Structure 1
Amino acid sequence: MIKKIILSGMLVMLMVFVAACSGSQTTVAEDAQVQKRITVSGTGQVRVIPDVAYINIGVRNQAASVSETLDQNTLQAQAIKDELVNSGVAEVDIQTSSFNVYPQYNYDYEGNITDTVFIVENSIYVTVRNLDDLGMLLGKVTESGANSIYGISFDVTDKTEALKQSRELAIANAKNQAEEVATTAGVKLGEIISIDIYSSDTPYVMDSSGMGGGYYPQSATKVPISAGNYVISSSVTIQFAID
């Protein structure tokens, strides 16, 4: 009986020892798999000339009755649309963006309503594809009845090639940084472990009023407009193995 107890105890101790050794071997194997690496980020920018513009053109009228205000607004809005079409803007590039009708009350010092006027606002979103005519077009629609022009923005119709170039520049920038770091640190640059790319574009937006409101040209002369540049950017984060 005593021999059996001793043998059982030795067997348990042996199993514990084997399990402990097995755990140590697994930890060493996992540590051996840890790979040395460096992470760098690069950026690339490409500037292109815009070839399209977007404009919000509006008409705002007020009168003593809804019908009178609506009639005035309708005449001016139609005149603006006709001018746009006659100037070469396609029908599909003219879209109603908002239409509002509401009363406006005037009060005396005691808070009593003295009179009421009705406001009608009609805005259209216009895509202009010939930027050479943009300045003259703004003058013409103003003469036709537009009394508010909001937030002119410029864009590029096809960004495919510019995006490709910006990504190439970003990757080249990241590789150069990795090589500089590796040389300075005295290590050898290895293969790429991972790569993440993010691209964006930044249009040039003109706030015509400078105060966030509308822009009111005074005549049908050519309004000076500058499309500027359109910036397309890419950023990349790359992990390199090092030896």
Structure 2
Amino acid sequence: MFAPPVKPSLALIPLAALASCGSPPPDGRGVGREETLLSVSATGEAETRPDQAQFQAGVNSWAKDARLASDANAQKIGEIVAALVATGIAKRDIQTRAVSVQRIDWGDRKGQYQASNVVNVTVRKVADAGAAVAAATQAGANVISGPDLRMTDREGAANSAYAAAFKAARARADAYAEAADMRVARVLTIRDSGGVQGDRYLPGAAPVAPPPVVMEQTAQQASNGSVMPGRTISSVSVQVDFALERK
């Protein structure tokens, strides 16, 4: 004989379980059931005066064999370093960047050897950069590039820009909330989107491609050899999630 099928009884289901079926799951972003999520993107800028300069100075020498070219080059680079030290540049701020010796197989110097030596020079005061470049040139440097103006406290300048970006995000969130007859209850997340500092890319938290670098302020070489530091702009972006609630 076959037993008749048993019909399920609703009485077997706890009332608490029934009540929970109609409740939405908790929001993984931290937004409460009576709150509204608002995501805001904002940018901030900070201007900083560069206080250091870097430039590269070097010399190319030619001779009929590699040894003669190398010896002549070493003597000349020694004279350049001595001239830089005489202007007040510390030896620890002079660093070799490139040394090479190669045979020339083209042009008027075909068959000769070219020796090259380039040093990187850090000038601790921008006002002294012009005199340092002039000293290197007068000592025989025939390779000069720069100056690259920079700041001792790069991170401090960037942090000022980030603070401005967050303040802008909060002001925008307050404006949205006021228009919606709400108020900002909490800050949920803050995401660093990175930015630029002069010609330097500031990476953000997300693995995105760097933005195009635009020079806001470039160094200028005046006719009298002085270096104009100008201002370096740090520009960054942040994304902030806010929780809004009714007033």
TM above 0.5: yes
Larger Rg: 1
Give the AA of the match of 1:226: M
Gaps of 5+ in 2: 200-216
CA contact (8 A) 1:79 1:144 kept: yes
Q: Give the match's secondary structure for 1:83.
A: helix
Superposition TM-score, scaled by structure 1 size? 0.77
Instruction: Map 1:163-178 onto structure 2 (within 5 A).
Output: 163-178=158-173
Give the AA of the match of 1:75: Q
Structure that is richer in helix per residue: 1
Change in Cα spacing, 1:68 to 1:205, as seen in structure 2 (3 Å) is farther
Q: Give the match's secondary structure for 1:188.
A: strand
- The one of 236, 240, 243 equivalent to 1:241 is 243
CA contact (8 A) 1:137 1:222 kept: no
Change in Cα spacing, 1:42 to 1:191, as seen in structure 2 (3 Å) is same
CA contact (8 A) 2:93 2:123 kept: yes
Instruction: Map 1:176-187 onto structure 2 (within 5 A).
Output: 176-187=171-182
CA contact (8 A) 2:161 2:234 kept: yes
Q: How far 1:26 sits from its partner (Å)?
A: 3.9
CA contact (8 A) 2:192 2:238 kept: yes
1:81 and 2:78 correspond:
no
User: Which whole-Å CA distance do the structure 2 matches of 1:198 and 1:158 have between them?
Assistant: 21
Q: How far 1:237 sits from its partner (Å)?
A: 1.6
Deviations 1:41-66 (A, max 9, x none): 22221111111111111111222211
1:99 and 2:99 correspond:
yes
Superposition TM-score, scaled by structure 2 size? 0.76
Q: How far 1:133 sits from its partner (Å)?
A: 1.9
- The one of 225, 228, 233 equivalent to 1:226 is 228
User: Which whole-Å CA distance do the structure 1 matches of 2:229 and 2:127 have between them?
Assistant: 10
Percent identity between matched residues is 24
CA contact (8 A) 2:126 2:227 kept: no
Instruction: Map 1:197-212 onto structure 2 (within 5 A).
Output: 197-198=192-193, 200-203=196-199, 206=219
Gaps of 5+ in 1: 109-113, 209-220
1:138 and 2:133 correspond:
yes
* More displaced stretch, 22-31 vs 230-239: 22-31
Give the AA of the match of 1:178: A
Q: Give the match's secondary structure for 1:81.
A: helix
User: Which whole-Å CA distance do the structure 2 matches of 1:123 and 1:43 have between them?
Assistant: 40
Deviations 1:99-145 (A, max 9, x none): 0111111379xxxxx94111111010111012222112211111101
CA contact (8 A) 2:220 2:227 kept: no
Change in Cα spacing, 1:157 to 1:115, as seen in structure 2 (3 Å) is closer
RMSD: 3.1
Q: Give the match's secondary structure for 2:38.
A: strand
